Structure 1
Amino acid sequence: MSRLQQWVTGKWLVPALSGILIVASFVLDKALGGAANPSLAPQWWFDAGVHATHSAESFLLSDLLMLAAAVVAGYDIVVKALRALVARMIGIDLLVSVAAIGAILIGNFWEAAAVTFLFAVGHALEAATLNKTRSALAELVAVAPDTAIVMRDGEQQEIPASQVRMGEIVLVKNGAKVPVDGQVVSGTGAIDEASITGESIPVEKSKSDPVFAGTISRGGFLQVLATGIGADTTLARIIHRVEEAQDAKARTQSFIDRFSTWYTPGVMVLALVAGLVSGNVVLALTLLVIGCPGALVISIPVAIVAGIGRAARNGILIKGGEFLETAAKISVVAVDKTGTLTEGRPQLTDVVVLHPSMGRADVLRWAAAAEAGSEHPLARPILDTAIAEGVGPDGIPGSVTPVPGKGIVSDTDGRRVLIGNPALLEQYGISDDAGAAEAARALAAAGKTPMIVAVDQQVIGVVAVADRLREDAKEMVARLYAAGIDKVVMLTGDTRLVAEAVGKATGIGEIHASLLPEDKLDAVAKLQREGHVVAMVGDGVNDAPALATANIGVAMGAAGSAVAVETADIALMGDNLLKLPEAIRLAKRTVGVMRQNIIIALATVVVLLVGVFAGGVTMSLGMLVHEGSVLIVILNAMRLLR
């Protein structure tokens, strides 16, 4: 479609035609010098007595052009008003329609044309600026790849990205967009993931690393196994989520909508009473125009669209206006330790031998055999180290019974193996003669997670695993406090000594350790009972109950998790902890803009009302100021995009 066609079919056609007719009316009126043209007016107009300000002898062609301008600009307004009435809704369009028709009936064509023209211009400008506030969504759509190069029948074939099949090998060359979600099977390269995570620094990718549709290769050559195509890609889910979020209403917006359903009829009643009491029809019609709550109605959604769009551009997905508004009120942030404050990639650091007849390899072998059937994240580093040292478990792992908050019990080679904390030994009646509890305490004090290993009824040693603290964890805590958060709380299932070591390193003062999933839920609920608005940051698995209970559930590193994108109130697409305080600051800014917009809208109506009763504010001037206030609130909201 050409630019001319877009303009002709766009929102600017009606106000442009109306404006041309208004200008032509003024030009013609000046050219004729007020000369009469009585043949242009139908006699019934004057016989009915509705043309109060003109006589048959002074009905000019310029008046007819002004009337045409009012009809051109007002037609859509009247149609919308009638449709709203059919749906039992009284809106702004009805106020403008009644005012314009009333102005025409009393012969005030200029006021009718001016009111409808300005209202049409306002609508066109609103649409244009609202599209601008949705620019982040447009940018996301724009990064969606159009084509893909796949290997078919042993040859490279360029096809539309929508035609890639699951399991195909896609080739990603330097400068090309990644067309699918997938896993690198061969090659190395640097991928710009800014469209997904908001991070501008390219990420190095090699075999087994994930890649996402819409990201761009900045160097290298990759062969990617397609695991997500079309609407199944992370980019598609983000676009869908942002579309829904920008259309979702905040509590304040819902209140404004309810307020408008009563306010608009109230304005009509006020105008009717004022007209009857004063006998001044023009006064009543002017009140209808200046009472339009247009700026008030648009003040909230435009801020929400801009705020959520800005967040999406930075790799922060906010589920909707309600959650954006709630995020601005957060007073406490509760964080999980593993995978949030730490990198979530623990490594085996210590193997302490406590049985005289065994060595390091024996303790490691039994620990690995017990953990072989466990899904606990700390099992992996023990197994990896055992395999690397040649003592990994063979065959199918034995039965494993998890003991929540204490450890696991495994049946391995006909022997019972326990791996966990001192409470697990106590539960199974195993005495700690070897000093395992003391060794575990020393390791925990160093920030490591210790696990006592016992075979049958004897303690044989302690293994310790440590997870490296994220580099930006301490700065995140500092920025949360700077953003106005009252306190940051750590909720972890790890031991108190380990948690305290991490808390000391990050600046977190309040620590709740050795928690089960339901204990985390209770901790969040307790904070809420104390009057706090709580945000819970976690991995969405062990922390699921607490995330659901918190006022705002925040998912970290959500780019690879479809569940997190769809269910989290706020999803941080990358692993950058600093995105959390950024999200809270943006929420506070957005709510601040919403409040400013409401004040601007209400102040405009009050000033105009005073002006009408004091004299000097006409219908056209009132509509001009009204549309000006609409643009001010939109432009104010657009500051959020910077």
Structure 2
Amino acid sequence: MNARAPAQGTSATWGETAAAQHRIDYGERFKYPALALGASVVAAPLELPFAPAVVGIILARAAFPLWKRTLANLKKTGRPNADLLDSLWVLVHGATGETFAPALAICLTETARVLRDLTAITGERRKPDMVPNRQYWIERKGRRRLVLAKDLRKDDHVFLGPGDRVPGDGIVVGGDGLIDEHDLLGGARLVPRTVSDEVYAASLLTQGRLVVAMRRLGAQTRMAQMAETVKERPWKETRISNYMEEIGNRAVLPAIGASALVFAATASLPRAMAPLQLDFAQGIGISAPVPVLASLHHAAQNRILVRSGHALEQLAKVDAVVFDKTGTLTERGVEVGSVETSLSSVSEDELLYWAASASRYVLLPFSAALVAYAEGRGVALTASDPLDYSDSGVVSQVDGYEIIVGTHQFLASHGIPVDAEYHRRHDGVILNRSIRYVARNREVLGAIFVTNALRRESAVTIETLRRMGISCYLLTGDTSKSANAVAYQLGIRPGCTFAEASPWHKVEVLGRLRRKHKAVAYVGDGINDAPAMSHADVAVSFQQATDLARETADVVLLDDGLQGLCYGIETAREAMRLVHQNIVAVTAANIAVVAGGVFFNLGTVSAVVVNNGAALLACLNGMRPLYSGERRDPEIRRTTLRDDEGLLGIPWRKRGRPGVAGAFGGHAGHPGPA
């Protein structure tokens, strides 16, 4: 006999019960089953006249949750399930005075169920601390003091400097600075914040100084609320275990009919009882979840959050992965790639001096990257106050000169023309680099090339996926040149690259790919990726993605690294191999017990040991992922599969590849934001 509901016989699923518990009450779980087993062993040799009645009462108490659950299911669904077979099996054996076998079955079943519940609650106590409990200088009621983060109160004014993590949600009431907010918002890595701007817990101040008035702390912060939505949800059954359990439930009435026929043909009650042990649905209900839960917890311990058993099953089937570009295959922040002067009288360091000095106190991602690059080359900068700046550029006075640093559109808006042909055909553009021009007193001195650098692990991830037999695609809203540059460097074939795609174009591409592959995973981190993620078989995102992308994702890479995707797929494949092994073991044991009982008069105790022992061993087999050790990613030996200089030999400057609309023969698809 097998069982799967909590020992208390509640209507809650076992996953909900396990999630609600912080520990297993072994005494409560095993009290009556162990007492029934012990009484049945002791009572037989004593041969006391009242012993059978006492043992029967104890056995009935141990089986009461099973009978109660059977009646509740019949009342709710009107259809019998495998609980009915177990109930009849225990009832008949108990009524005939054979108490040892039912008591042993209940004990073995409870042991298997406890193993499953132990797996379910493994790792529940692990919770990341996004805001360390460190000391902060604050101003409270006109007095300054040092307090721990846990002792902060609403309306405290907190003083923050470079490297400080914001301890709560609040409003900037003084100063300005550059905040790294990608933990919460994704997108640009650095954003400027000044008076009246809102800042959030767990974001990091990288430059400047801020005074922040606290508005929400602890569980009320946006970070804490998102942690609640991202934390692991209760297990959801896999389709294969659902399917096998449904087959088992449909076999209940035939099994009862077969029992009646065997009794009519043989007049042997032990033989007639054998078909009632055809309850492999219950064994699968216990043993199939264990490898799924163990794999979910093992993945989480290795910084991969898989939200459900169904997501794990789909991840195991993945044979195609579609990547967004910016923030997924490339870094979110920008970096300076190269510097080029247009005047022989101006050196690269001099160009950097003018550009970085003009941008030194501008709190924007490009400016921060430029200043860091110049200082890294040993260029000494001077102080200057910006006269005007935006995301496109900056105007400053440096040593009495007007310095303008910006895009060709920004320079054009200030009456400074840039050679359009130079801009369009420059090698830097083909290599996926944006150009910021530098002008001194309205004369263009040269250009600075910036790029979203490839993630260090992008190349090894693509290579690993390909060795695993998985096709890789690039699907982005960026230009064809930018997409082709990244695809070429990472070894993604041109036929697998789609550019200039709106969110709804991405959905169309995914639809076509899903018809071609068994299961398609989409990896993205932005708001515009959410429609595609919701239409993929498996949606993958990062801990540092936008809220919407992260909440849409079935799999969250908690360390913000792509290599976790390869390990997650390997973990999912191993989990499903264990599920199949457990299903085969439990089903084979059930068939052997029924056949042995009907044709060979297999003893009741032997049948219990084989049947329930198989479920117990399957549970132990399913727990193997918990002892698989720590994740080991392939060593990153190179950041690209191809040298990007090879891009310059491809005639994309003359004939660019079409974007998504071109690939669809001019069909624009659904209208949507770019």
TM-score past 0.5 threshold? yes
Report SS of the residue matched to 2:288. helix
Q: Does 1:485 align with 2:469?
A: yes
Return 520-529 or 135-144, whichever deviates more.
135-144
Match in the other structure for 2:19: none
Compute the displacement of 1:171 (Å).
12
Q: Which one of 388, 391, 403 corresponds to residue 394 of structure 1?
A: 388
> What root-mean-square deviation, in Å, do the aligned CA atoms of Structure 1 and Structure 2 show?
5.0
Compute the displacement of 1:604 (Å).
1.0
In 2: Cα distance, 1:577 partner to 1:97 partner: 50
- The AA in structure 1 aligned to 2:424 is A
1:137-166 Cα shifts (integer Å, max 9, x gaps):
42325989999978666556679x6x8656
Compute the displacement of 1:325 (Å).
0.9
Match in the other structure for 1:321: 309
Contact 2:484 2:497 in 1 (8 A): no
Change (3 A) 1:503 1:629: same
Change (3 A) 1:527 1:392: farther
Match in the other structure for 2:537: 551
Q: Which one of 334, 337, 342 corresponds to residue 346 of structure 1?
A: 334
Match in the other structure for 1:13: 31
Match in the other structure for 2:281: 293
Match in the other structure for 1:73: 62
In 1: Cα distance, 2:617 partner to 2:464 partner: 32
Q: How does 1:220-619 map to 2 (within 5 A)?
A: 229-230=218-219, 237=226, 241-244=230-233, 246-291=234-279, 293-349=281-337, 392=386, 394=388, 432=420, 435-439=422-426, 442-450=427-435, 464-482=449-467, 484-510=468-494, 512=497, 514-518=499-503, 519-556=505-542, 558-559=543-544, 561-619=546-604
Change (3 A) 1:573 1:104: closer
Compute the displacement of 1:212 (Å).
5.8
Unaligned runs of 5+ in 1: 30-36, 38-59, 173-177, 186-195, 197-206, 214-222, 399-406, 420-430
Q: How does 1:109-124 map to 2 (within 5 A)?
A: 109-110=97-98, 113-124=99-110
Match in the other structure for 2:52: 63
Contact 1:493 1:514 in 2 (8 A): yes
In 1: Cα distance, 2:545 partner to 2:302 partner: 17
Compute the displacement of 1:628 (Å).
0.9
Q: How many residues align?
A: 535
Change (3 A) 1:15 1:234: farther
Change (3 A) 1:452 1:167: same
1:250-296 Cα shifts (integer Å, max 9, x gaps):
22233234323312233222222322333333322232135453212
In 2: Cα distance, 1:472 partner to 1:167 partner: 43
In 1: Cα distance, 2:571 partner to 2:535 partner: 23
Change (3 A) 1:414 1:320: same
Report SS of the residue matched to 1:11. helix
Unaligned runs of 5+ in 2: 1-21, 173-182, 184-192, 204-211, 375-380, 393-405, 628-674
Identity %: 21
Contact 1:149 1:157 in 2 (8 A): yes
Match in the other structure for 1:23: 41
Q: Does 1:90 align with 2:80?
A: yes
TM-score normalised by length of structure 1: 0.69
Match in the other structure for 2:618: 633
Return 541-550 or 503-512, whichever deviates more.
503-512
Q: How does 1:130-145 map to 2 (within 5 A)?
A: 130-140=116-126
Change (3 A) 1:93 1:435: closer
Compute the displacement of 1:11 (Å).
0.2
Change (3 A) 1:337 1:155: same
Compute the displacement of 1:570 (Å).
1.0
- The AA in structure 1 aligned to 2:586 is A
Contact 2:299 2:305 in 1 (8 A): yes
1:85-104 Cα shifts (integer Å, max 9, x gaps):
22234233322221222234
Compute the displacement of 1:581 (Å).
0.4
In 2: Cα distance, 1:139 partner to 1:126 partner: 23
1:170-211 Cα shifts (integer Å, max 9, x gaps):
999xxxxx997779x9xxxxxxxxxx9xxxxxxxxxx99998
Contact 1:67 1:104 in 2 (8 A): yes
1:22-72 Cα shifts (integer Å, max 9, x gaps):
12203413xxxxxxx7xxxxxxxxxxxxxxxxxxxxxx4443344344323
Compute the displacement of 1:78 (Å).
2.0
Report SS of the residue matched to 2:29. coil
Q: Does 1:622 align with 2:611?
A: no
In 2: Cα distance, 1:349 partner to 1:390 partner: 24
In 2: Cα distance, 1:4 partner to 1:613 partner: 42
Report SS of the residue matched to 2:126. helix
Change (3 A) 1:6 1:523: closer
